[in-house]
Structure 1
Amino acid sequence: MDLKQVLIAHKANHSESKAWAEKCALQLEAMNCKVLMGPSGFKDNPYPVFLASASEKIDLAIVLGGDGTVLAASRYLAAEGIPILAVNVGGHLGFLTEPFELFQDSEKVWERIKSDRYAVQERMMLEARIYEGDRIQPEAVSDCFYALNEMCVKPASIDRMPTSILELEVDGEVVDQYQGDGLLVATPTGSTCYTASANGPIVHPGMNAIVITPICPLSLSSRPIVIPPGSSVNVWPLEDKDLYTKLWADGSLSTSIWPGQWVGVRMASRPARFIILRENYSFYETLRDKLQWAGARFHYSNNHRNSRN
């Protein structure tokens, strides 16, 4: 991979992440690479400026932070086809990042990238818009929002905890109506996040699928479902006269949904692309480590696993 122009986003208000970003910038500039650097956080979004300021093709985005920092980067960079090297500097769980230990000798990392000694993992993204008008030929009335984890349709209010009534439609057919705290439309990547907390299934990120999970439904028969990635998902808020219902992308507020409008969700046309430095990356090891799977209370030996008989 050529390294002629690189983005570096560091976790906002985190001194270690910023210090490493500055160190990386100096190293890359010494290699005649143009660097665009800035903080990323709840109140800081550097990506529109990055993309508008780029004088040529952006070869790589280096994201130094935790999973939240990576999610923000994915929402803006996946559609541009920019590969992301995400490193856990100041993060907590680190589900989506490379271990910091592999990045400490950063000059060797640049050598590996320039000589193509890395893997690229593609992860499915979702896109969503707000629609209104005739349902056969609807009119999009919002920007396109992207999510690596999930789109969430749920109400929010300052002074109370409203529930919602949401109608789910897949490929033009009504599936069910849900009364509860909201509805999640997730990717396989997002199946280990909010969806897992809502008792949804865990789906391997190597496959493409859409996971739909109700949040605290007032019905024991409301169950999560997994549908094909090419499905068209519409979520209609019902009985919301006070404009409580909102669309959230990866936990960030996207927009409010007015009465008569609905959310259309589908697989995005381009996936997020992540640089993998680990030579023995394992999704199952990540589950055991990050989710602290302990298994049974009593552990038994398996003497047959490595038997040659």
Structure 2
Amino acid sequence: MQLKQVIIIHKARNRDSEVWAEKCARQLEQLHCRVLVGPSGPKDNPYPVFLASITQPIDLAIVLGGDGTALAAARHLAAEGIPILAVNVGGTLGFLTEPFEAFQDTEQVWERLMGDRYAVQTRMMLQANILEGSRTHPEIVSDSVLCLNEICIKPASIDRMPTTVIEMEVDGEVVDQYHGDGLIVATPTGSTCYNASANGPIIHPGMEAIAVTPICPLSLSSRPIILPPGSVVHAWPLGDYELNTKLWTDGVIGTQIWPGQRAEVQMAQCHAKFIILREKHSFYQTLREKLQWAGTRVPHSNNHHATSKNISN
């Protein structure tokens, strides 16, 4: 990998993340690399300025923060094909990030990157649009939004906790009407986030699939469903007289869904590219550590597997 132009994004209003961003910038500039540094958060979005000001391709995005910071980077950079080195600096869970211990020797990290001694993990993303008009001649009335975790269609109101009725169609066929708190359309990456909290299936991130999970449905027969990656999902609210229904992308509000409009969700043409520094990277280890899967609560030895002691403890 060449390091001629790098962007460094740190978690907004987090001192540790900002300090490490400044340190990385100084070291990369000594390697004759052009560096752009900026904060990312609910009220800070450096990506439009970064992408508009570049005069040559961005070789790497270093993202210092937690999962939310990494999600924002993926939404803005995946379409540009920019690889992301996300590191847990000031984050909480760190599902999508490299552990800080693998990054703290930054000078060695730059050597590894320039020597191509790293792995790249690609992750499927979803794209959503708002449509209106007839089924045969629909019109796109919104900007396309990307997500790495999930597209969520649910109402939001400051006065009460509203429920909704959402009708879903897959590849032109109506599947169900969900009466409840909303609907989640998730990627395999997002299957361990909001989707898992709503009792949806956990999907290995190496797969390409779409999980559709109703949120607190008022029917025990309403169940999550896994769709092929080429499926196109349409969903729209029924009887939303108070105009509460909104489309959310990775937990960030995307756009309002007005009467007569419907959301279209499908696999995006781009993938997020994450740099992996760890020599041993295991999805199952991540589940054990981040979700605190411990197996039986009564310690039991297993002489057939060398890792059993680590799992049971």
Report TM bin, short chain. Answer: over 0.9
CA offsets 1:35-55 (integer angstroms, 9 cap, x no match)? 111000010000111100111
The aligned residue for residue 61 of structure 1 is 61
Q: Does 1:45 align with 2:45?
A: yes
Which secondary structure state, in structure 2, belongs to the residue aligned with residue 161 of structure 1? coil
The aligned residue for residue 142 of structure 1 is 142
Whole-angstrom distance in 2 between the partners of 1:4 and 1:225:
45
Whole-angstrom distance in 1 between the partners of 2:90 and 2:282:
22
Deviation at 1:100, TM superposition (A): 0.3
Overall identity of the aligned pairs, in %: 72
Select between 294-303 and 173-182 the one with higher mean Cα deviation: 294-303
Q: Does 1:251 align with 2:257?
A: no
Which secondary structure state, in structure 2, belongs to the residue aligned with residue 235 of structure 1? strand
CA offsets 1:157-194 (integer angstroms, 9 cap, x no match)? 11111101000110000000000000000000000000
**Aligned Cα root-mean-square deviation (Å):** 0.8
The aligned residue for residue 310 of structure 2 is none
Whole-angstrom distance in 1 between the partners of 2:137 and 2:298:
58
Whole-angstrom distance in 2 between the partners of 1:152 and 1:304:
43
Whole-angstrom distance in 1 between the partners of 2:294 and 2:280:
21
Which secondary structure state, in structure 2, belongs to the residue aligned with residue 213 of structure 1? strand
Size of the aligned set, in residue pairs, is: 306
Which secondary structure state, in structure 2, belongs to the residue aligned with residue 58 of structure 1? coil
Letter paired with 1:285: Q
Whole-angstrom distance in 2 between the partners of 1:215 and 1:296:
29
Letter paired with 1:45: N
The aligned residue for residue 110 of structure 2 is 110
The aligned residue for residue 193 of structure 1 is 193
Instruction: Output aligned runs, 1:1-309, within 5 Å.
Output: 1-305=1-305
Deviation at 1:305, TM superposition (A): 4.0
- TM-score when normalising by structure 2: 0.97
Deviation at 1:108, TM superposition (A): 0.7
Letter paired with 2:251: G
Letter paired with 2:95: F
Letter paired with 2:51: L
Letter paired with 1:280: K
The ranges of structure 1 where at least 4 consecutive aligned residues each deviate by more than 6 angstroms after the TM superposition are none
Deviation at 1:241, TM superposition (A): 1.6
Q: List gaps (5 residues or longer) in structure 1.
A: none
Deviation at 1:133, TM superposition (A): 0.3
Deviation at 1:304, TM superposition (A): 3.3
Whole-angstrom distance in 2 between the partners of 1:111 and 1:298:
45
CA offsets 1:277-304 (integer angstroms, 9 cap, x no match)? 0000000000000000121222332223
